[in-house]
Amino acid sequence: MNPDAATTMETIAHTLVADVALRRDERISAEVGHILFLDLVGYSRLSMEEQDRIARELRSLVRSTPEFQRAEVRGELICSDTGDGMALIFFRDPLAPVQCALEIARVVKPRMHLPLRMGVHSGPVTRVPDINGNDNVSGVGINMAQRVMDCGDGGHILLSSVSADMVRSFESYENSLRDLGEVTVKHGVKVHVFNLLMADAGNVVVPEKVRTDGASKKNGNGKVAANLSLPQSDMATSAAKGERPPIGVGKTVSLVYKRRGAPVDDRLGRMLEAELSACGFVVKVERQQQFSPAWVQEVEEQFAQSDAVVFLLSASSCASEMFEYEAKLATDVALMGTGLKPKLLAVRVSYEEDLVEGLFAAFGQKHAPLWESSADDEAMVQHVLAAFTQTPKPKLDHTKREKAGGAVPLNSAYYVVRPTDDEFTQAIARQDSIVLVKGGRQMGKTSLLARGVEEARKTGAKIVITDFQSLSAPDLVSADALYRALAEKIADDLDLDTLPGDVWNEKRSANMNLERYLRKEVLGAIGEVPLVWGLDEVDRLFTCDFGSEVFGLFRSWHNKRSLDPSGPWSRLTLAIAYATEAHLFITDMNQSPFNVGTRLTLSDFVPAQVGEINTRYGSPLSPTEVSTFHDLVGGQPYLTRRGLDELTASELTFTRFAAEAGRDEGVYGDHLRRMLLSLSQEPTLVEAMRLLLRGQPCPTPDVFYRLRTAGLVLGEGVGDVRIRCRVYQEYLSRHLA
């Protein structure tokens, strides 16, 4: 154990002695407990049923962790239920609560409905029986653990300075702690807290309480360092909030500094390693400086694989020939490369001497920044990060951003082209007779239709767009009323001289009147120019008594085109957008336009497309958060844009966003309530959804297709059905399961 840990244990021993008291001449027996205190963020806002369900789920997950089971078997653990969480008091092993916290964090990470915060502290506790005679504890140790936990937000694992000192003595944790400084908690007590960060556990964002309390790191004299004035940039703003931009994902940085005999260099190197890791960099540290032929090759390979090599220049390191030799190796590697990789960077650690010629040439910079005290820590970090930032692209004016939902404007910066876009445009360019675009609600059918016909308009084609949702009830009382409304819309869009009323003959059938008007007064009037007729939301016809008659007429135009390729029907393209399964309403497929022509199906965004939209919104999500976000919303276009819009416009953290996404009070609350209201109108669908939520199969193909049309499920049939996304799963489970 290192001297610091020994000192810490001494402090605990003194605390124990001071905590001993006499009660009626009897000595209270106190001992050191290593405490993990945890609770669920937002627990009090849940209903009683939800509280009971997630509390039971949390207890089950905690009990399943190896560290919990190991300590329980050995009799070294006391558990105390706090309602919204629990306290786990370990005895003997100071690492037990940290290891258990990491195991719990990993197992709850994919469960966004369990936003957990944890605090770890080692201190004096007294064993006392609870009202049922079971073992429990009391004392300042458990109180302090709770105060440490209270400093965190969802996902944080915070340690007191006592626990941090002990954990640091173990190599596997020594570089995983970030000093958050002192925080004022209950009754004005100041608590010095550390944030535990591992690759797969912990929350890198500085807790809200730490930020609002104005906590800052202490310098070597124990005085609070003044806030460093930084350039006003996106990066500096992020750092001021206690956050690090995720600019290092996929990048590697090598650090070179003198460790032995240089405590300042060592402290600075470890701090820089932690900060760069928090930005997503893979950090490799060359600090052994032991020469051998194998070592030379290993270092060369490490530098060659790095995007940057950072040297800490101090009087001690610059006096080392080995250190200078490493600088030469880095220079040689850089010269052999493209000149862009690795970048060679340096920071002078209380070293104001002129750089020697060799090092000057290696680092390619005349004035390496000077570090003099811990007040310069942030400037040093920013110097390294600046090497990876390019000239910022102009940000979108989010004060004028479009509201997510509905058709996306043609000039939108947020529209992402999918493979279906190209297929649709090509079909229109070929002048196919019928082009079908199928997709559930809010999948982008209207936006795709608008872009396809706009491309056709640029080539000189005549365009007509009919949105069946805009038709009034009188327009849908009969086929004749519908055809008159459609013909009048066509005449208006094309500014025709002959109106439907001029040629409509009551002695003809409704089908004959519309067909004759199209052939003579429309296609005949525009000459050899192609006509693209976009028909949006045609699902509205499926429930009309005459719907099959209308679709049969559309199919007949397709057939006539095949029989007379040079006739007028060869210049008409019907672009039909719909969501409902047509075969559920049209029994005679020979009279259906939905099994001919070009058939396209809109799919959800893939992760790469979500990443592209995230970039267009100014990257409110880090690369790792993009993946989690895609899993949460399933790539559903509306949910994707609505979520990114909220994350961009508000101060909402992604952790909180994800925790509340499937709840009424979350970003998608209105959307989810409307979805549930629509679903509740169909008891058959409600019962089917309950079955699916329980892991049981969908009862019938008809029910499956109706749920898929509503956008609630995905799959190809009853044997391949699944809930659309995790947001829907969480919300519907809460209200239906």
pLDDT over 70, % of the chain: 82
> What CATH class has 3-205?
alpha beta
Give the start-to-end residue ranges of the domains of the chain: 3-205, 252-386, 419-601, 661-735
Cα 575 from Cα 77, distance rounded (Å): 68
Cβ(253)–Cβ(307) under 8 Å? yes
* Least confident window among 221-225, 320-324, 590-594, 683-687: 221-225
Helix axes 547-563, 479-494, angle to 10 degrees: 60
Residue 475 neighbours by CB under 8 Å, 6+ apart: 481, 482, 485
Cα 629 from Cα 542, distance rounded (Å): 36
**Predicted confidence band of residue 263 (pLDDT cuts 50, 70, 90):** confident
Q: Is the pLDDT reported for residue 148 higher than 90?
A: yes
Residue 129 neighbours by CB under 8 Å, 6+ apart: 135, 136
**Mean per-residue pLDDT, 631-650:** 89
567-595: per-residue pLDDT in tens?
Answer: 889 899 999 888 776 666 666 666 778 77
Q: Is the pLDDT reported for residue 366 higher than 50?
A: no
Number of residues assigned to the chain: 737
Residue 331, CB half-sphere, CA atoms under 13 Å: how many? 16
Cβ(101)–Cβ(87) under 8 Å? no
CA nearest 511: which of 560, 454, 462?
560
Classify 677 in phi/psi space as left (phi over 0), alpha (psi -120 to 50) or beta.
Answer: alpha
Cβ(571)–Cβ(523) under 8 Å? yes
Cα 474 from Cα 544, distance rounded (Å): 12
Burial (Cβ within 10 Å: 0-12, 13-18, ≥19) of residue 716: exposed
Residue with tokens 């192609």: 530
Cα 423 from Cα 554, distance rounded (Å): 22
Cα 181 from Cα 223, distance rounded (Å): 11
Q: Is the pLDDT reported for residue 180 higher than 80?
A: yes
Return the amino acid letter for 733.
S
Q: Is the pLDDT reported for residue 362 higher than 70?
A: no
**Mean per-residue pLDDT, 202-228:** 54
Q: Is the pLDDT reported for residue 407 higher than 90?
A: no
Q: Positive or negative CA dihedral for 71, 75, 78, 81?
A: positive
Q: What per-residue confidence (pLDDT) applies to 114?
A: 82
Residue with tokens 């819309």: 489
Helix axes 683-693, 701-709, angle to 10 degrees: 90
Supply 357's token pair: 């010629």
Cα 360 from Cα 190, distance rounded (Å): 46
**Mean per-residue pLDDT, 16-30:** 50
Cα 11 from Cα 473, distance rounded (Å): 82
Supply 48's token pair: 């009683």
Helices (H) and strands (E) in the chain, counts: 28, 22
* Choice between 240 and 449, residue whose per-residue pLDDT is larger: 449
**Mean per-residue pLDDT, 672-692:** 86
In angstroms and rounded to an integer, the radius of gyration of the C-alpha atoms of the chain is 34
Cβ(156)–Cβ(242) under 8 Å? no
**Predicted confidence band of residue 504 (pLDDT cuts 50, 70, 90):** very high
CA nearest 74: which of 102, 96, 106, 99?
96
* Choice between 343 and 13, residue whose per-residue pLDDT is larger: 343
* Least confident window among 86-95, 209-218, 661-670, 675-684: 209-218
- Confirm whether 3-205 and 252-386 share one CATH topology: no
CA nearest 574: which of 490, 478, 481?
490
Q: Positive or negative CA dihedral for 405, 410, 416, 421?
A: positive
* Choice between 711 and 391, residue whose per-residue pLDDT is larger: 711
Q: What per-residue confidence (pLDDT) applies to 701?
A: 86
Cα 183 from Cα 194, distance rounded (Å): 11
Q: What per-residue confidence (pLDDT) applies to 287?
A: 54
Q: Which helix (H) or strand (E) holds 680?
A: helix 669-680
Supply 617's token pair: 């919104």
CATH architecture of 252-386: 3-Layer(aba) Sandwich (3.40)
Residue 181 is given by DSSP the state E
Q: What per-residue confidence (pLDDT) applies to 23?
A: 42
298-345: per-residue pLDDT in tens?
Answer: 888 888 888 888 888 888 887 777 777 787 777 777 766 544 578 888
Instruction: Report which listed range, 74-78, 261-265, 288-292, 392-396, is most confident.
Output: 74-78
Q: What per-residue confidence (pLDDT) applies to 588?
A: 65
49-67: per-residue pLDDT in tens?
Answer: 888 888 888 998 999 999 9
- What would the DSSP string read from start to end of 88-111? EEE-S-TTHHHHHHHHHHHHHTT-
Cα 371 from Cα 392, distance rounded (Å): 27
Cα 467 from Cα 537, distance rounded (Å): 6
Cα 518 from Cα 216, distance rounded (Å): 76
Q: Is the pLDDT reported for residue 655 higher than 60?
A: yes
Burial (Cβ within 10 Å: 0-12, 13-18, ≥19) of residue 35: buried
* Choice between 397 and 440, residue whose per-residue pLDDT is larger: 440
Residue with tokens 């049922």: 132
Return the amino acid letter for 473.
A
The superfamily in CATH containing domain 419-601 is: P-loop containing nucleotide triphosphate hydrolases (3.40.50.300)
**Predicted confidence band of residue 224 (pLDDT cuts 50, 70, 90):** very low
**Mean per-residue pLDDT, 716-728:** 86
CA nearest 281: which of 328, 333, 343?
343
* Least confident window among 185-189, 266-270, 400-404, 482-486: 400-404
Q: What per-residue confidence (pLDDT) applies to 14?
A: 52
- What would the DSSP string read from start to end of 319-375? T-HHHHHHHHHHHHHHHHTTSSSSEEEEEEES--SPPPHHHHHHHT-S-PPEE-SGG
